[in-house]
Amino acid sequence: MKADEMENTPTETEKMPMPDAEVYYTPHLFTAAESDLYLERLTQEVDWQQESIRLFGKQQQLPRLTAWYGDKGYTYSGLYNAPQPWLPVLLELKERVERVTGHRYNSVLLNYYRHGQDSMGWHSDDEKSLGPGIASLSFGGERGFAFRHRRRKDLPPVKLTLRHGSLLLMQGATQQHWQHQLPKTSRPIAPRINLTFRTILA
Ligand SMILES: O=C(O)CCC(=O)C(=O)O
Ligand SMILES: [Mn+2]
């Protein structure tokens, strides 16, 4: 393994070694059978959309499909997401995540990465209207994920593999101090679904 591919993906729930952050990774929140079933249901039941955003004066398609469900609308990358009423499968997952995290969420952003060229660039989810805790579920093809500190260039990026049926919990001041990304990969990779449960304030 080359140095730039090094990573330490925990095999059970662990707090990631990241100063100024509270990030917990649980590789197997769901069994393999549960994960397969959720992948299938989410693929079929969610109203997946190909959205575009205006970037440098040009309309650009997002490199993934997205959907937004919840109690409130939400503006993301300058794009207003009207709320869609919760689906039963999403309420099931929300309740499961609320039980294990002890937090309540009122919305979920879903991402569908069709292949390795679908991705999400470096960003923080630090909008003022967003509560500080985000619970992120992964189903489907395993993808690399990375964090980098926003100011401390001496700290190496923290890399993880997001497994089928895993939970990544980002809490506290994480978004103020760290960015994260889901990079492209040239490996042939199965489609992946990500759900980020969020709390929209006020
Ligand atoms: O797909 C992922 O794991 C990351 C999604 C993400 O960062 C986001 O929706 O804000
Ligand atoms: Mn994010």
Quick one: which ligand is closest to 109's CA? Answer: 1
Q: Which of 113, 120, 148 to mutate to test the pocket of ligand 1 (most atoms within 8 A of CB)?
A: 120
Q: Which CATH class is domain 3-198?
A: mainly beta
Instruction: Give yes or no for residue 26 CB within 6 A of ligand 1.
Output: no
Rounded mean pLDDT, 80-96:
92
pLDDT tens across 23-44, in order?
999 999 999 999 999 999 999 9
Sequence-ordered list of residues with C-beta below 8 angstroms from that of 157, at least 6 positions apart, any chain: 146, 147, 148
Q: Where are the domains of the chain?
A: 3-198
Work out the angle between the directed axes of helices 88-101 and 32-45 (0-180°, nearest 10): 140
Instruction: Give yes or no for residue 136 CB within 6 A of ligand 1.
Output: yes
Q: Residue 4 has what pLDDT?
A: 44
Please give the distance, rounded to the nearest whole angstrom, from the Cα atom of residue 145 to the centre of ligand 1.
Answer: 9
The whole-model pTM stands at: 0.94
In ligand 1, which atom is closest to the CA atom of 113?
1
Residues around ion ligand 2, judged by CB within 5 A, are: 125
Instruction: Give yes or no for residue 107 CB within 6 A of ligand 1.
Output: no
pLDDT tens across 123-141, in order?
999 988 898 899 999 999 9
Instruction: Specify the residue for token string 């079929």.
Output: 44
